[in-house]
Structure 1
């Protein structure tokens, strides 16, 4: 018997190690090329931009929803207008050798990175001009719209929460990275176009802008809440740009992490609550803290927001970046109240000596659960039932916006509840609910025959509607928490209140009674004058511009 010995052909093992090494080297080269490109796109050292050549200063605003009509958009356009239109001293160097040299930035270049509302920049500019005129008044920001350099971004849609049904906050944070990538690539394309203009005659005739106009801005400011984009831009440029953020509301708050599950809840609900808090603490908070460590300037819109940003970005909440916050970050947190309208030239107040005016109460707030419209209704109805003779002319008007079907149904249920509590008389004018009133209608209400303004949201970070009511001379009744108590209605002395504040439902009913018929008219008129003066002094567009430019000056003088 013969045995055939079969020899297997030797097949060498795949070159795994060389492939891995080659991939690592390729990635490293790509990373180095990317960093080199990013460095070439930076204008120059920030110190030189601010101090040595003021005409080269430039600012970039990241605000994709710049066509919205909210308070955030008013902050953006007031900031752009302050930089574009006002010729003033923006940065001052520290005194040296007894002298006080300073640098003045005159008409700096301002970039605005926005969503693609239209197909071309010219169409976007025309759309913004019309949209802002409708929201904030004719020609309020026309010059700013014409002077700003618009850069529409395809990746701006990734910032919308509708794309992320799960882990929404995390994915919204991470969406800042592709936005930053597109910003770099857009400026790279501008630079390539400029270089081609030197070689090709057709480009030379069409593009004659100086090279510096195509580079990245020396200062980036986020006004909508995309902190990871600032972090990426800061890292990719090796810290050669400066970053700032205007924070309306913290992206993540301690209230989210400290929320305890209900003791009566099921085991699965408690488990979800524990997992949610762990997700916030282990994933979202460290990433948000890292973004704060890369932000050179923080502007908070209220004392409530300021306190929480100090905890998150410069306190125990930012444990991963605490070392970075012990230096200039703690000093560069500024309180910059949002703009609530131009200073008013007239001071005609509602005539509170007339019961028909004094007992008319208006509330302006979106029909969201946290606005607590039910509390307004219940306390007002309780007041009518307890004091029927004194409140014979009392009236409550609730005006608010409805974002969706749920908000509209909430407003409808509110009106049905009013009818159930007070009878058919509520439909005759004692209690009214107006949904999605226009800005013109709201202005007419504030300037009309209403004497009191009611605000019932708890722990609101600011409260622009309160300031608008104060500017029109209305007597304000608000919850004693958040920005309403810490900023807007904070009296200079205990004996000079600016309005009436409450904590409980019983206190709210008593405040309504004080405002509608108890307190002397002279006392209420003194509150009117003090509140009006504070609104004009602290919360006007002009006051915002002054504070904003002072805060930005710290970026220009920082060594």
Structure 2
């Protein structure tokens, strides 16, 4: 029996050593075979949101800044091909790549389930973060570039890329954990990222505070591994500076908004009926139910002599959970008795999005602590008066006065949103045109051209610094 235990221990130790040696050899081989390329880590290349627009605009900016660098896309979408990705960039976002990706420049990842939220019913945040390490290991073993560029917020992959000898830079849309999230848990506020069961329990809330505190400590360590961190707003910048402690390596680069094409749309809008557009992925944090509830309240309070508005919810569905959320919204519209005044548009083409924006007198947005708010800028550029959540990006960067004139409305509660909707409908044509013109002027500072210029200025020192 003793001999068998000794033999088992020897086999176990030998196996562990063999695996460790194998991993070391894989890393060394990766170091030796690093390609002159930028590896873009974006596991969901079909999410259809602002993050995907940033992806393709960033790829185009890199191609323009350094044509000698290949751009390799790490994707977990198994049906993604060079042609389909190039087509998505153009059809969904109007971005024409300078050099369409070649077959070898699309690296398929087969372990994406390890970053999917459904894999972790509990401790989702840390589960996805550690899962991203495994996914990044797969990516870098398959193709090791000189530069590793994360566009999806997987900060736990940065140490892995550093191990493979890559220069690491990222575009951070929002921190995985923020000080605001921690304060909500401490205050026991129920929200999409804080289950009501936990919020009601002092003990569970205490445990979650410890969990969040530990996670924020880990997040600060991995985030500090970035050689360059681009952030999309003042709100995100303030949080990343506090969490990662690398202020000198942080650059604010506002996301690319197609303001030029949208600004060509007429400011004059049809009021028969007045249309309110909502552009957002069908995700829980986008708070679509609040929009429908506010719309229902507004319809009840509108004077009878005023036109009945219509709301158009436009968004993409990433998975079955999003599809279910969309169906729940349709059911809610029926329950609120506003279904005759509500339209749903799923996974629309970019040309259709422009048409919908062009016909809207207002655009509604309801996510709390939206890191930036590309859709809010798009509303303003298209001449649709924004009704946005009074927090983070919309409040700090976007819906600000222009030449002393108001550019839109900020709201938080159902009542405040309803009042803003009513105010837009009640405006005279001259009042609406004046506000829409001021909003359009404000939106011009978030153009695609500005993104290209700021992005290239940020990455230039990384590309032309000879040190590794």
Is TM > 0.5 for Structure 1 vs Structure 2?
A: yes
Select the residue among 219, 222, 228 that pairs with 1:288.
219
Counterpart in the other structure of 1:53: none
- Cα contact 1:362–1:453 (8 A) shared by 2: yes
Counterpart in the other structure of 2:60: 81
Select the residue among 217, 229, 248 that pairs with 2:145.
217
Query: Which runs of 5 or more structure 2 residues have no equivalent in the other structure?
Result: 191-195
Structure-to-structure mapping, 1:63-212, within 5 angstroms? 63-84=42-63, 86=64, 88=65, 105-115=66-76, 117-118=78-79, 124-137=81-94, 140-141=96-97, 143-146=99-102, 149-187=105-143
How many angstroms does 1:468 deviate by? 1.7
Counterpart in the other structure of 1:501: 410
Select the residue among 342, 345, 348 that pairs with 1:432.
342
Q: Which has the higher Rg, Structure 1 or Structure 2?
A: 1
Q: Relative to structure 1, is the Cα distance of residues 28 and 433 closer, same or farther in structure 2, using a 3 angstrom cutoff? A: closer
- Cα contact 2:291–2:414 (8 A) shared by 1: no
Cα deviation code 1:296-326 (max 9, x no counterpart)? 1111122222122112212xxxxxxxxxxxx
Counterpart in the other structure of 1:546: 453
How many angstroms does 1:271 deviate by? 2.3
- Cα contact 1:303–1:487 (8 A) shared by 2: yes
- Find the residue that maps to 1:404 and give its secondary structure: helix
Select the residue among 489, 492, 497 that pairs with 2:399.
489
Cα deviation code 1:123-180 (max 9, x no counterpart)? 722332344444235x734843349822223333432232233332222212233334
- Find the residue that maps to 1:224 and give its secondary structure: coil
- Find the residue that maps to 2:101 and give its secondary structure: helix
- Find the residue that maps to 2:258 and give its secondary structure: coil
Cα deviation code 1:396-433 (max 9, x no counterpart)? 313144622243123322232135xxxxxx73xxx223
How many angstroms does 1:25 deviate by? 7.7
1:67 and 1:294 map into 2 onto residues whose CA distance is: 28
Counterpart in the other structure of 1:445: 356
- Find the residue that maps to 1:394 and give its secondary structure: coil
Counterpart in the other structure of 1:304: 235
Say if 2:255 is the partner of 1:344. no
How many angstroms does 1:549 deviate by? 0.9
1:468 and 1:159 map into 2 onto residues whose CA distance is: 30
How many angstroms does 1:77 deviate by? 1.1
How many angstroms does 1:115 deviate by? 2.3
How many angstroms does 1:470 deviate by? 1.6
1:437 and 1:186 map into 2 onto residues whose CA distance is: 31
- Cα contact 2:256–2:446 (8 A) shared by 1: yes
- Find the residue that maps to 2:201 and give its secondary structure: helix
1:548 and 1:15 map into 2 onto residues whose CA distance is: 58
1:455 and 1:154 map into 2 onto residues whose CA distance is: 35
Select the residue among 176, 181, 198 that pairs with 1:256.
181
Say if 2:313 is the partner of 1:388. no
Q: Relative to structure 1, is the Cα distance of residues 407 and 301 closer, same or farther in structure 2, using a 3 angstrom cutoff? A: same
Counterpart in the other structure of 1:100: none
Cα deviation code 1:266-313 (max 9, x no counterpart)? 99933222222212222x223222211211111112222212211221
TM-score, normalising length: structure 2: 0.82
Counterpart in the other structure of 1:39: 31
1:21 and 1:369 map into 2 onto residues whose CA distance is: 47
TM-score, normalising length: structure 1: 0.70
Counterpart in the other structure of 2:193: none
Q: Relative to structure 1, is the Cα distance of residues 444 and 555 closer, same or farther in structure 2, using a 3 angstrom cutoff? A: same
Counterpart in the other structure of 1:363: 278
- Find the residue that maps to 2:455 and give its secondary structure: helix
1:267 and 1:65 map into 2 onto residues whose CA distance is: 31
1:369 and 1:345 map into 2 onto residues whose CA distance is: 28
- Find the residue that maps to 1:524 and give its secondary structure: helix
Query: Which runs of 5 or more structure 1 residues have no equivalent in the other structure?
Result: 1-10, 44-56, 89-104, 188-215, 315-328, 420-425
1:18 and 1:377 map into 2 onto residues whose CA distance is: 65
1:529 and 1:555 map into 2 onto residues whose CA distance is: 39
Structure-to-structure mapping, 1:227-246, within 5 angstroms? 227-237=155-165, 241-246=166-171
Which moves more between the two structures, 366-375 or 262-271? 262-271
Q: Relative to structure 1, is the Cα distance of residues 525 and 281 closer, same or farther in structure 2, using a 3 angstrom cutoff? A: same
How many angstroms does 1:222 deviate by? 0.4
Q: Relative to structure 1, is the Cα distance of residues 521 and 267 closer, same or farther in structure 2, using a 3 angstrom cutoff? A: closer
How many angstroms does 1:471 deviate by? 2.0
Question: How many residue pairs align between the two structures?
Answer: 452
How many angstroms does 1:368 deviate by? 4.9
2:353 and 2:173 map into 1 onto residues whose CA distance is: 23
RMSD across aligned positions (CA): 3.7
Q: Relative to structure 1, is the Cα distance of residues 288 and 369 closer, same or farther in structure 2, using a 3 angstrom cutoff? A: closer
- Find the residue that maps to 1:182 and give its secondary structure: helix
